[in-house]
Amino acid sequence: MKRMGMVIRLKANKIEDYKRLHASVWPDVLKTIAKANIKNYTIFLREPENLLFGYWEYHGDDFEADSAKIASDPKTQEWWKITDALQIRMESSKPNEQWSMMDEVFHTD
């Protein structure tokens, strides 16, 4: 299992929309995440900075392949089209990166 984290900003005028969407995430999107060996997926919001932090645990053995499966799913693409419009990419994001991946620097059980 690998713990993974990512960060992005949320548009200030879209916070309630984002919360509403995530209060009832589409079942097909959740199924796709589960099929990609991702568990314990959580998104946190820090206001007033409007910073979103995503965390999950990856239980597979080929994250690139599982990520590609998620990205190729039509319902997930539709979901991202809606949610991406509510977000602001980090200035340091890579060209192909919506959320910016983070490096784990500490963990304790």
Q: How is 49-99 classified by DSSP, letter by letter?
A: TTEEEEEEEE-SS-HHHHHHHHHH-HHHHHHHHHHHTTEE--TT--TT-SS
- Bond preceding residue 74 cis, omega within 30 of 0: no
The CATH number that domain 2-100 falls under is 3.30.70.100
User: Residue 42: its pLDDT value, please?
Assistant: 98
Q: For the whole model, what pTM was predicted?
A: 0.92
96 has a pLDDT exceeding 90: no
Q: Residue ranges of the domains in the chain?
A: 2-100
Average pLDDT of the segment spanning 89-103: 93
CA proximity to 63, closest of 6, 107, 1: 1
| Closest listed residue to residue 55, CA positions, set 104, 105, 106 | 104
Q: Could you read off the pLDDT of 18-59 as tens digits, one per residue?
A: 999 999 999 999 999 999 999 999 999 999 999 999 999 999
Question: Which class for 28: exposed (0-12), middle (13-18), buried (19 or more C-beta within 10 A)?
Answer: middle
**pLDDT at position 40:** 98
User: 67: pLDDT confidence band, cut at 50, 70 and 90?
Assistant: very high
